Structure 1
Amino acid sequence: MISNNVWTRVFQLRVGLATGTIFLMEKDGRQYWVTAKHVLEGWVDGQRLEIRQLDGWTGIPLALIGHHPTADVSVLACAFHVEVHPVPATLQNLGLPQEVFFLGFPFGWAAEMPANLNRDFPMPFFKRGFISAICPPSPGLDNLQFVDGHNNPGFSGGPLVFIDHFTGEQKMCGVVSGYRIQPEEVYVGQDRIDAYVRANSGLMICEEIKRVDEVIDQNPVGILVPQN
């Protein structure tokens, strides 16, 4: 089961007319907002981004920390801290094969629940899969996490989560990037026509959480997490 430690830090993001997913992550005592780089396509740093609440969209002042130079990862920061329960962001004790979960807002949808369940924010959708492989898609490229799971548009930028079998902790290990397209031929009756559909192969592509670390390490200026 994925607890509110995880899902209270996952939000629906709107950039222009497009929507995706963004989540909170802490590193070295500072808080950051993480999403997939392609979700921010067309956005200019300094423009207000919008987060969905139960009563509509609200703009928040997110500033760009950095885009990863090669991975589909972007990191932002806000001038205020959002109180959430701790969730480690790490690959430590991630196994193969490993059951994983991913959270987000497919097709622009959101689960509208009672306001007190998620602090006046809608709930993300939950899906699961298995880590199939961690490897580069071709020589010379960084490793990706390939997940046997059915991704949908809108989950991009959401966290990939696993349960550490040694400690029982829920940990964020990746960022949802997309899925492998599988071209399939089109037939009318028995006759093939000159067209194909871009089918979902069921193989998800996620960036390792250490790509987020690499961006933060270049500009570690997230908001400080208050000390209790």
Structure 2
Amino acid sequence: MPFINGEYFNSTFNIITETENGTSFILTISEKQYLITAKHLFKGVANGEYKTFSIYINDILTPLSGKVYICPNVNVDIAVVPLEEHIIAKYEFSITGGNYSIGEDVFFFGYPYYLSQTLTNVKFKMPLVKTAIVSGVNYQDDCVQIYLDGHNNPGFSGGPVGYFNEREQRLHILSVISGYITQNNNIITSAGVIITPENSGIIISYSIKHVNDILHLNKI
């Protein structure tokens, strides 16, 4: 089973943009904090465009704003927002995007359907967690998609995919949840064939290495 640490819970936030509801997480890099999420939550955003949004901090919907930075490759569904001040404690995650294997057990966090969890000793809402395995990797035009075998739901978009490296004894963030592939099922009825879409169980995520690319290219 994957090793799940409270640092993942404390770093993951429900985000509400102008048009979407999803998940985000905060990374501390070189003493600066950045909010990471899925680009599609900021519909039609351009690189460096100023946006307003809100996240729940200690159960309070808190308005934030900042410039949204994205990857030059339009296929990469990741957005990075530099934060003006620290929102959480500094946690040590590896974001190299390496040291994992096909078939690796991973877990991902988020707020599907606006759901969250509360614990008796915690006074704020926390994300739900689900598990998956790394099913495959697709390298194409400087875009690294990581496919997971699991069950994603609307609202997990932008959430972190993590794992614990036993050899290094270190927490890693592998990728950012984007969505899932649907499949069509043919249901034969007396009125004819009805085609219904269904979650295929193949989750699409994008390598955390793209966060490093965005930081480097935009010098933020």
Is TM (by shorter chain) over 0.5?
A: yes
Give the unaligned 5+ runs of structure 1. Answer: 222-228
When residues 94 and 205 of structure 1 are mapped into structure 2, their CA distance, relative to the original with a 3 A threshold, is same
Match of 1:81 among 64, 79, 86: 86
Hey, what does 1:5 align to over in structure 2? 7
The aligned amino acid for 2:117 is: A
Instruction: Give the distance between the partners of 1:168 and 1:186, measured in 2 at CA.
Output: 49
Instruction: Give the distance between the partners of 2:58 and 2:119, measured in 1 at CA.
Output: 8
Hey, what does 1:166 align to over in structure 2? 167
Shift of 1:55: 4.5
Give me the CA root mean square deviation: 2.2
Aligned length: 213
Match of 2:99 among 86, 93, 98: 93
Instruction: Give the distance between the partners of 2:98 and 2:51, measured in 1 at CA.
Output: 36
TM-score (norm 1): 0.84
Hey, what does 2:179 align to over in structure 1? 178
TM-score (norm 2): 0.87
SS in 1 for 2:143: coil
- Give the 5 Å matches for 1:19-168: 19-41=21-43, 45-53=49-57, 55-64=59-68, 66-70=69-73, 71-82=76-87, 83-114=89-120, 117=122, 121-136=124-139, 140=141, 142-168=143-169
SS in 2 for 1:46: strand
The aligned amino acid for 1:209 is: I
The aligned amino acid for 2:192 is: R
Give the unaligned 5+ runs of structure 2. Answer: none
SS in 2 for 1:31: strand
Shift of 1:198: 1.8
Fraction of identical pairs, as percent: 27
Contact 2:174 2:207 in 1 (8 A): yes
